[in-house]
Amino acid sequence: MIKKPVFWVIMAAVIALFAAAALGRQYYGARYVGTDYYAMVPPDYDMTPVAILNRDGRDTGETGIRYSLTAYGMQGEAKSVSFTVYSPESGFSRGEVQPQPGTYLWISASRQLVVKWGATDESDIPEKAMKMIMER
């Protein structure tokens, strides 16, 4: 038979483990589980490359284009999204092509960040989202 103090220590550890797992799952969902949104790079979007700064605000020596867009969900709900596409000659570039003005985008965004993005065809955009894009 387990003595009472040992039992309570084991119970406290089990409860702490479940609490940590729940918080981890909540964090993961908020940060890395995205919802689909759609946007278009405006025809007059400034495509001038900017210096990429690190978390401390220091110039990394790399350049890219910072996209700050309003994207729309399947029901037409708006969400502000931002992401950077590094210049092709950048050491950080993953071979991504910088979307040009007029390009339609599919964006998977969580509550905190853009998880993935890619160019898409106009025909692949849900009707309500397309309507909101055209009204902009």
Provide the 3-class DSSP secondary structure of residue 19: helix
The whole-number pLDDT of residue 88 equals 80
- List the one residue out of 40, 20, 60, 44 whose CA is nearest residue 124: 40
What CATH code would you report for 34-135? 2.40.50.480
Give, as one character, the DSSP assignment of residue 136: -
Angle ∠(23,108,66) on CA atoms, nearest 5: 105
Average pLDDT over residues 7-35: 79
**pLDDT of residue 1 exceeding 70:** no
Domain ranges of the chain: 1-32, 34-135
pTM of the entire structure? 0.77
**pLDDT of residue 43 exceeding 60:** yes
